[in-house]
Structure 1
Amino acid sequence: MRVHRPGLLRRCLTALLPTALSLAFAAPASAGPASPAGADTPARGSAHMGMGVPVHDGVHGLPRDSRAARTEGVDVSSHQGDVAWPTLWSSGVKWAYAKATEGTYYTNPYFAQQYKGSYAVGMIRGAYHFATPDTSSGATQADYFVDHGGGWSRDGRTLPGALDIEWNPYGAACYGKTRSAMVTWIRGFLNQYKARTGRDAVIYTATSWWTQCTGNYAGFGTSNPLWIARYASTVGTLPAGWTHHTMWQYTSTGPTVGDHNRFNGALDRVQALAHG
């Protein structure tokens, strides 16, 4: 026959209670993949040209030597901070694009140093906008871009603004849009940019993203210069509608500034694009 000892039972439960509570509230050892808002998702505003290229398209070497005329350029964002423009100029870089805006919620805090600094050393420069089609309309983002550094002037050294449209770093690759809706969004941006500046914006994209998210739409090739992103020995297949590229981002691991580009022509062609 067992004797009931309530005092002993109470002491045992009291001793076990902290352990039980810690186990109840501890995160499981295998909680599964992080949600879109998890620690692996970059902060809004941190996106930049080509950040999705290595993951989605891969890296396949550097361009082969060519006898065709090419002019070296770079693109920069807040990731580069204050840029050593004299060093880049001395290395042969003659043109540059700086990120000005993203969505309607972000402006690059280093934009003034990058945009004005490249101009000061003699480069032909331009500004780009990182598109977030899931946050506001294309026309609204074009206005925000122009109002925060993305305009154009007839000084012969300012390139038309560029629309950076690529993989969504914050969620679904195509920003939750159907292909037709994506084309409509892009058209809205381009039309408003031209209405505000008189220039056709450059389109920066990758062929694989363009095919996936616009259905390889061919309607912008006759008006908007193409800036193709591909880290390989050649530009490869271009998106539909373009018979040639104007600029090519060929690496994210170049000297001084990682993102290096080649203009498809000699310096006088860069100047021609700036003059319009």
Structure 2
Amino acid sequence: MTRTRPRRAAVLATAFAATLLAASATAASSATASTATGPGTGSPSQPAAAQPNDSARAAGIRSAGDAWMGWSQDGHGRPTPTPKQAAQASSLAAATQTSGIDVSKWQGNVDWATYWGQGKRFAYVKATEGTTYQNSYFAQQYNGSYNVGMIRGSYHFALPDSSSGTAQADWFVGHGGGWSGDGKTLPGVLDIEYNPYGATCYGLSQASMRSWIAAFTSRYKALTGRDAVIYSTTSWWTTCTGNTSQFSATNPLWIARYNTSPGTLPAGWAYYTFWQYTDSPLDQDYFNGDLTRLRALALG
């Protein structure tokens, strides 16, 4: 059976319980930071300071590496679209767009044949987070989607306060984020969004955040020859980058919005390349074009 990440309703604790959990984690971190390992990875955890904040805990994030693409759309937990919203989004986009999904460790070993049978033609798989975490299910998810016929790619969950954009691009490319011109491998994704471990903008100014993103995307292109896709929400992008249009001419946009349309896009992007429109029963996405155009993106 395909595993799913904790739903907000299932993990939401009382404020008092959340406070106790946070306090307990903080107290334990100094004793375990030097020996702790990421879940199922054998890799060191993030530094002790990088503990999930209350919103992240309410969403089911318990430790470094637990974050996934779109864990929150407003910094206060992940909204759940109504079935009507998801159906409307699906019907609006289905005629001209290509359906896909994105997955992380929370889905475990994925039954790719089932999703292929549902018409999913592409998949993005979480590969890395920061400079220490690797998805322990990456091989099954990345290779399995490819083997069933999907065009697939990988994504990196950015932690701009833990290391440089250059270092994180190196880690990503070295651990699943590479690209090849086989026609079935999509360019990697920089997943940059609400911080599950601390301040919304990771303690960076808007100018510093723009510089961090530029360092990551420049390094990724130098290593792979491709411009990374940028995944974010309009609200986070506006708050933390000043709604810059700096990357709109080079980097495809993946917009996250759980509603009947993608809504207002960040500055400079006249259209989106991908749209994450629901998380029910798992993250579902559209590529803004038919399968021929998706293949063209894969080929570069």
Normalising by structure 2, report the TM-score: 0.77
Where does 1:151-170 land on structure 2 (aligned, <5 Å)?
A: 151-170=178-197
Distance 1:189 1:176 in 2: 17
Quote the residue 2:272 is aligned against: 245
Q: Partner of 1:74: helix, strand, or coil?
A: strand
Deviation at residue 197 of structure 1 after TM alignment: 0.3
- Gap change, CA 1:57 and 1:239, over 3 Å in 2: farther
Deviation at residue 227 of structure 1 after TM alignment: 0.5
Q: Which amino acid aligns with 1:274?
A: A
Distance 1:42 1:52 in 2: 15
Does the Cα contact within 8 Å between 1:68 and 1:265 map onto a contact in 2?
no
Quote the residue 1:102 is aligned against: 129
Question: Which of these residues, 246, 261, 265, is aligned with residue 219 of structure 1?
Answer: 246
Q: Partner of 2:91: helix, strand, or coil?
A: coil
Question: Which of these residues, 25, 32, 49, is aligned with residue 69 of structure 2?
Answer: 49
Deviation at residue 53 of structure 1 after TM alignment: 1.9
Quote the residue 1:65 is aligned against: 91
Where does 1:1-276 land on structure 2 (aligned, <5 Å)?
A: 33=19, 34=22, 37=51, 40=57, 42-53=62-73, 55=76, 58-59=79-80, 61-62=85-86, 63=89, 65-66=91-92, 68-254=95-281, 258-276=282-300
Does the Cα contact within 8 Å between 1:247 and 1:261 map onto a contact in 2?
yes
- Gap change, CA 1:31 and 1:243, over 3 Å in 2: closer
Q: Which amino acid aligns with 1:143?
A: D
Deviation at residue 65 of structure 1 after TM alignment: 2.3
Does the Cα contact within 8 Å between 1:162 and 1:203 map onto a contact in 2?
yes
- CA shift digits 1:63-103 (9 cap, x unpaired): 16237411100000001000010000000000000000000
Q: Partner of 2:116: helix, strand, or coil?
A: helix
Deviation at residue 58 of structure 1 after TM alignment: 3.9
Does the Cα contact within 8 Å between 2:113 and 2:148 map onto a contact in 1?
yes
Seq. identity, %: 56
Gaps of 5+ in 2: 1-15, 27-50
Q: Which amino acid aligns with 1:273?
A: L
Distance 1:227 1:105 in 2: 24
Distance 2:255 2:273 in 1: 8
Deviation at residue 49 of structure 1 after TM alignment: 0.2
**Which stretch has the larger CA shift, 48-57 or 190-199?**
48-57
- Gap change, CA 1:32 and 1:68, over 3 Å in 2: closer
Deviation at residue 175 of structure 1 after TM alignment: 0.5
Deviation at residue 42 of structure 1 after TM alignment: 2.6
Does the Cα contact within 8 Å between 2:71 and 2:78 map onto a contact in 1?
no
Q: How many residues align?
A: 244
- CA shift digits 1:47-68 (9 cap, x unpaired): 1101012746845522162374
Distance 2:186 2:231 in 1: 14
Deviation at residue 241 of structure 1 after TM alignment: 1.1
Distance 1:92 1:181 in 2: 41
**Which stretch has the larger CA shift, 48-57 or 117-126?**
48-57
Deviation at residue 31 of structure 1 after TM alignment: 10
**RMSD, matched Cα:** 1.9
**Which stretch has the larger CA shift, 167-176 or 54-63?**
54-63
- CA shift digits 1:203-239 (9 cap, x unpaired): 0000000001101011101110000000000000000
Gaps of 5+ in 1: 1-29
Does the Cα contact within 8 Å between 1:162 and 1:201 map onto a contact in 2?
yes
Q: Partner of 1:170: helix, strand, or coil?
A: coil
Distance 1:127 1:64 in 2: 23
Distance 2:127 2:90 in 1: 32
Q: Which amino acid aligns with 1:104?
A: T
- Gap change, CA 1:31 and 1:268, over 3 Å in 2: closer
Does the Cα contact within 8 Å between 1:64 and 1:234 map onto a contact in 2?
no
**Which stretch has the larger CA shift, 132-141 or 57-66?**
57-66
